[in-house]
Amino acid sequence: MEREHFEALTRAVLDRLPPGEDATIHLRGERSEFVRLNHGKIRQAGTVTQEQGLLRRIRGDRHASAGVTLGGRDLHDDVDRFVTAMHGLDDVLDVVPPDPHLRWCQEEGTTVEVQQGGPAPAESIITSVVEHSAGLDLVGLLTAGPLWTGFASSRGLQRWDERHGWLLDFSVVQGADRAIKSTLAGTEPAPDTIAARIEEIRSELPLLAIPPRRLEPGRYRAWLAPAAVAGLLGMVKRGGLSRRATETAQSPLMRLIRGECALSEQLTITEDTAGGWGPAFTSDGFALPDRVPLIEGGELVGTLTSPRSAQEYGVPGNSGPGEYPNALVMQPGTLPTSEALAALGTGLWISNLWYLNFSDRPAGRITGMTRFTTLWVEDGRVVCPVEVLRFDDTLYHLLGAGLEHLSDTAELLPSTVHFERRSTASDRVPGALIDAITFTL
């Protein structure tokens, strides 16, 4: 959908609003190319174009919403769909109770953010992948194309955001259950980056052919690659940075908040909307701050606060309705990445974690399993792969007293979740050296 189409659409719909009411319209759309690979060859390719709108009618302190699927080409058809949805809310508004925490953006004005340049063609990216993966069992998914987000209100506020990018999520399989996982992303074709990463993986594959070692349960020193650190950070995201979860004592960081436990002074985490991949406004139309400090020097200094929480607790808002981060950045440390193995000495090199969950949420205790490349290292040299392990430890140890070093570089890890639409969330995290992790299986 073009911005002009959105503006004409929202004007036509909002002009039909009954007197004495307000309304907002939120739009998300994409035109995405998907290419699935197996054995380094294209197995499936296609394009998905979709646009979803959300209409919210507001009558005093009562409100109701309806979703609308749009065609994006015929203005009259899109208007009719919204008007039908609007009439469908007539009876609902008569019976919904007043909402004491209703807060919506009543500003006026227009903001437009359009990323410069055109989207990188999937064909050029996939050509680089196929060319350099000859002879490898490379399996993965490429997604590419433009995404757009719009917001409009009956008070005269219009927002528009349009951007593009590509994401290559892939693994190179050595055999059996052993593989090397990688994620690459960008806004421009990057054949050199793709070639370099695939060749790096090609050189590492022989390590996975060595018979794996089975370790007994116990505590082992470990280096966590950025993707594994992002897994830990994902558990912090699950309510740990939410204002509502904090106020209702459901945050997994309650022991930190109460002063009973501590995180490492090395730990600084920020929500960096300005450096992220998503729009700088919420589905309620509120502008997002460029940056929100959340943890500084191991101390919780801020939370993500939705409009509803802001209204309920009398604090400024700075987040969308879900109070979930979309562009987290963990500040790097001082350990050169090239010296990580030497600093580890003897222990585990862990590339990825999965099946993460809380084993004791109030205590900040989590459990999970190693995945893909996990290697046994002795005196700074890789010896062999390690069979799958399960760990159970607290965030206060892994990101607190047990955190020895963070690497001096951080890696961009965009979300690979594409359930309803392409995600614009991302993390930027360094690697981490942990003095010991408790493995139970």
Residue 320 is predicted with a pLDDT of 96
CA-nearest of 272, 274, 319, 316 to 293 is 272
Between the CA atoms of 232, 237, 238 and 239, what dihedral angle is there, to the nearest 10 degrees?
130
Residue 418 is predicted with a pLDDT of 84
pTM equals: 0.94
Contact 432, 225 (CB under 8 A): no
CB contact burial 105-124 (16+ within 10 A = b; e otherwise): beeeeebeeeeeeebbebee
Residue 3 is predicted with a pLDDT of 94
3-state class (DSSP) for residue 195 = helix
What DSSP string describes 336-400?
A: -GGGHHHHH-SEEEEEEEEEEEEEEGGGTEEEEEEEEEEEEEETTEEEEEB---EEEEEHHIIII
Residue 315 is predicted with a pLDDT of 96
Residue 419 is predicted with a pLDDT of 84
How far is Cα 205 from Cα 210, in angstroms, rounded to an integer?
A: 10
How far is Cα 132 from Cα 369, in angstroms, rounded to an integer?
A: 31
Residue 84 is predicted with a pLDDT of 97
Residue 37 is predicted with a pLDDT of 96
How far is Cα 330 from Cα 323, in angstroms, rounded to an integer?
A: 18
3-state class (DSSP) for residue 321 = coil
How far is Cα 155 from Cα 103, in angstroms, rounded to an integer?
A: 14
Distances (CA, A) of 218 to 213, 389, 392: 15, 10, 10
Residue-range domain boundaries for the chain: 3-208, 218-439
> Mean pLDDT, 10 residues at a time, over the chain (441 residues)?
95 96 97 95 95 97 97 93 96 96 95 86 91 95 96 98 95 90 91 95 95 96 98 96 97 97 98 96 97 98 97 96 97 98 98 96 97 95 96 98 98 91 96 98 88
Number of Cβ atoms within 10 Å of the Cβ of 179 = 23
* CATH for 3-208, options being 3.40.50.720, 3.30.2290.10, 3.30.428.10, 3.90.960.10: 3.30.2290.10
